[in-house]
A and B are shown apart, each in its own frame.
Chain A
């Protein structure tokens, strides 16, 4: 044991001595030590490479008004995966109940709302048992709100990464949204359990569900992206966000059916993109007619927001490291 370590040390000392010797006559020795890049056969990989004709990357002040570079994001997709994985792993690593919290949150809320709104206030629930009705609304809502909240604060929370490493910044809010999507999938299993318990049979409408999930994910992503970028510069947003989200829940048909809103206000109400989505969730699960107008409004809203957010993010992205 002793001999191995000492011989190791001896060899490191030797290399170190070589390099010190180089210090005296730096120019000559180091040029010798650095083999001609192309002809060196012993070097590992293709490290010593001949530069291509075209630059791989050109760095300059970005004055153009462009959207996000999707190809580059694709190159960094593994980082997206790792950041999502880190988010989930860290969140549940030190909690006693671990992943159970994902289920507990909507379940406890369902219980409370069932008692106070379902049983005491007798809020109508479209012929579906109120617990099932409210859980089906809380499911997309919890996903949406936690995704927006998390990704909204994600860039500010990742200042240490932003100032030290380059990667497409949009990966950070995207990973936050993605991690909540995993939570959503787990909570969805409970919904299936509730449907079986209450004997609600799935219908053809269920085919619409993936579309709605995609829609709410993109909506959360667009909003999260935009808010996270704004939050870097204006920290007020981080403070205002939870309040706004709370208010948003009450103007969305989460705890009550949208039919409760008077007819003359319905058009205005449907401008809230979550109306179409949350209503759509219930329609697809409980075999009820879809409100296509509301869904179309949500879809248009989502696409416009996503495009706007992509442009806005790209414009602000470059200054994150200087501001955050």
Chain B
């Protein structure tokens, strides 16, 4: 089929640092500006002689095409070029090289409530925002009731939006945007706003837009939502298109190569390994109980931390202690081996814990059950404790890993579950007493 969007060799270069303004003063700037027309003829195509160091390629040679009715998700880490791509498609900024051909009207939603003015009423803002998003006045009037309905703020439609709660504001803003009727819709991370029920409503709307046969390009960090809405995904990494395929394929690969995680560290040279004169680390690793450190850990996976370390001073009583911290810098928990007395009851000849160590290489393993942590990034701090009370060594971010969402766990819920942990607890609901139903009028 004929594509509706055709992107060919698209690149975007940003200037960074000193290269930003080549004019030193206002006076030079003004004379430069006056000479600008002449310069344009002289300069031609050469980029003005910037050095590599001053530039950053936000997008590098990206090509793809989208057919009508496709719902395409774009994934990638922060700074991968997703937003730049959407901005170029929306014509907010222009590419450095390459072309895009659009065979349909484009509507972009890079932010909800663009151009909303706090002094104006809900009604006035609907018209203003609609016009800014490219709707005709007649079109807005025709859709007006539906927009107000969707936003659920009928009563406050003639109140200045500065008196709105943030939830009302967002609902109204999304309502306008949701009623755009372009052939191509571009959406950037709008699902990051609003409460859970509103997010669900937005996703529902996105889903119906997609079912109507419109072409949608969609960026979000909510992979679960993306997977259920998109049939195709593009994966950008450092400005380059690294994968283009079905959602399942691309997301699977994407998750396998999460780069921020560090699930294994090995220090071969005892002289330079982290530590001090008493203890030196040899390795650190996190992996599923029955897998390797390259396998992913979901909320359901039981996993282990493994540390190997050299004890350099004989007769030292050492133990490790781990502090798990999530993205919001909330401490999830602190764990260390049990104290000597408790350990005695589980007497185990192979467990050196609590006993004075001879000099040598030790391995400590910590087992974490599945169904404990919530999804998200986890950072591990390692503490080495002497005599079960004195911290002698501390290493931040010794390991970091992602606890991933397990899609099969989810039912009607797309949003992130709140809370630092997500235990699966035992629940039971029983019928205490049955009561005959008595309906009014029957």
Listed in ascending order, the chain A residues whose CB lies under 8 Å from chain B are: 12-13, 15-17, 19-20, 22-24, 26-27, 30-31, 33-37, 40, 43-45, 47-52, 55-63, 65, 78-79, 81-82, 85-86, 89-90, 93-94, 160-167, 230, 233-234, 236-237, 240, 308, 311-312, 315, 318-319, 321-322
Contacts and interface: CB of A to CB of B under 8 A. Distances in A.
B211 A16 contact: no
B132 A240 contact: no
Contacts of A85: 128
Contacts of A60: 94-95, 98-100
B26 A318 contact: no
A24 B23 contact: no
A165 B90 contact: yes
Nearest to A33: B211
Contact of A26 (B106, B110, B212, B247): B247
Interface in B355-379: none
Given A23-B407, A165-B114, A16 B412 contact: yes
Contact of A167 (B68, B71, B134, B247): B134
B104 A51 contact: yes
B119 A90 contact: yes
Contact of A49 (B183, B203, B204, B247): B183
Q: Which 7 A-B pairs have the closest CB atoms?
A: A48-B213, A51-B103, A55-B101, A166-B91, A59-B100, A82-B131, A30-B231
Contacts, number: 210
A231 B181 CA distance: 35
Contacts of B181: 45, 47
A170 B187 CA distance: 25
B92 A164 contact: yes
B133 A165 contact: yes
Contact of A17 (B45, B104, B133, B412): B412
Nearest to B229: A19
B105 interface: yes
B228 A312 contact: no
B385 interface: no
Contacts of A51: 2-4, 68, 103-104
B131 A79 contact: yes
Contacts of A63: 45
Interface string B100-140: 11111110101100110101100010011001111011000
A166 B207 contact: no
Contacts of A161: 114-115, 132
A245 B134 CA distance: 35
B257 interface: no
A62 B410 contact: no
Interface string B69-85: 11100000000000000
B228 A26 contact: yes
A82 B408 contact: no
